[in-house]
Amino acid sequence: MAIFLDSSKIEEIKKYKAMGILRGVTTNPSILLKEGVTGGMAGVKARIIEIAKLMDPLPVSAEVTTNDRQGMIDQARDIASWAKNINAKITIHGPNGELDNLGVVHQLETKENVRVNVTAMMSAQQCFLAAMAGATYVSIFAGRVNNMGYDAVNEIKILRTLLDQHQLKAQIIAASSREILNVVQWLQAGAHIVTVLPGFIDGMIVHPYSKETVKMFLDDAAKNR
C-alpha cells in the first residue's frame, strides 16, 4: 500500500493522485474544519464523499466524533454508508481510558460489515489487540512514539512480526511522521502504510543534487542546439 495522504484538500489529493503514488487518504473532522470546510458536519460529509469518489477504489479513512459506545457504532455505520471505500476511524480507548472501543471495533468488523481503522495507538501491544479485535487497519502514531523517547521502528518491527505470526488481516499504518526519513524507515521496518502530509512527498521527490544535475543537462542541451 505504502503512502496515504493526510489531507482533505481536493486539489492536493488530485495533484498527488495524478502522480500515481497515493494508495489512500486519511482525514478527520478536525482537519476538515481547520482547512476551511464550511457547513458543519453536513459540509464535512460532502467533502469526505467527494474525496472518496476521487480516490475510488482506494481507501479513505474518516473519524467518528464521539466516544459513546452506541454513538460510535451509529456514526461508523453512517460514515461507511457514504461510499464503499470509506472506513471509520475509532480510537483505541476513550479519553479517560474507557474500554468500550475494542468491543465496538469487533462488532463493526464482524457484524456490521464496517471496515475500521483503529487510531491513537502508541505501542505494538495496543495495535496487536486492535488487530485481534478484527480491525482492518491499526494506526501507530510513530512520530509521537519517537517524541516520547521510544523507538517507533522497534515497535513497528515487533508488531509486524506478531501480525504475521498470528495471520491477522490488519495492516499497519505508521502515522504522525515528523521528518521525510520516517517514510522509508517505517516502511522498511514493516509498516504497510505511512501517512504523510503533502510537503513530505515534495521533499521525497526533490533533491538539491537532482536539481543541479537537471539544470546541467538542460544547459548542455541549450549549448548544442
**Catalytic residue annotation:** 89
* E strand residue ranges, 42-177: 60-63, 86-91, 116-121, 137-140, 171-174
Measured at the alpha carbon of residue 25, what is the angle toward residues 24 and 28, in degrees to the nearest 5? 150
Cis peptide bond upstream of 208, omega within 30: no
Cα gap 31→44, rounded to integer Å: 10
Measured at the alpha carbon of residue 131, what is the angle toward residues 186 and 96, in degrees to the nearest 5? 95
User: Could you give the C-alpha distances from 146 to 11, 139, 149, 160, in angstroms and in order?
Assistant: 31, 15, 5, 18
Cell of 204: 521525497
